[in-house]
Amino acid sequence: MIDNITLDNLHIGCKASNKAEVIAMIGAECKAKGYVNQECVHFLLEREHQVSTFLGNGITLPHLPKSATDIILKTGIEIFQFPDGVIWDRSNVMFIAIGVIAKEKEHIDVLKEIASIFSDELIANALSLISDKNDFLKILQHNALPH
C-alpha cells in the first residue's frame, strides 16, 4: 500500500491548533478524494474517542471505526506533516498524521506496514521535519534515510 502513495497523498508543512483541526483536514481530504461516500470527520472522532490513534514517535493514525465501513468507497492513505507539532493527547505531540481509509482486512495490512516504517525513530523524526515532498516519498518508500 505504501508503494501506491504519490505526491498527491502528501501534505507537507501543515498547521493546526489541535487534534480536532487535524482530523477535520483528514476527513475533508478523504471525502474530496472519493475514499468515502459522505463526510467522515465524526466517524474519525468517534474512533479517536474509543482509543487514541497515537502510535509513538510523533505519529498518529486516524482511521474509521468498524461501525463506519459501509461509507468506504475505496482504500486510501493521506499523510499530513505538521513540523511545529500538534498536542494529541495530554503529553503526546504529533508531527505526522496518517489518515487511513480501508476495509477491515486491508486495513490491518496497511496498519502493519505503516507501523513497521514509523517504528524507526530516526525515520519518523526525519519525515516530521523534511520540507520536500519528493524526499519525503523516497524515504517513505525505501524505508531508509538517504546515505
Predicted model pTM = 0.92
> Which residue pairs, CB below 8 angstroms and at least 24 apart, start in 105-110?
106/1, 106/75, 107/63, 109/1, 110/1, 110/75, 110/77
Which pLDDT score is estimated for 146?
Answer: 61
Which pLDDT score is estimated for 83?
Answer: 96
Q: Which domain holds residue 87?
A: 14-135
In a domain, 144, yes or no: no
In a domain, 9, yes or no: no
In a domain, 84, yes or no: yes
In a domain, 143, yes or no: no
Per-position pLDDT tens, the chain of length 147: 677 899 999 999 999 999 999 999 999 999 999 999 988 999 999 999 999 999 889 999 999 998 898 999 999 999 999 999 999 988 899 999 999 998 777 877 887 888 787 888 888 899 999 999 999 999 888 766 665
In a domain, 130, yes or no: yes
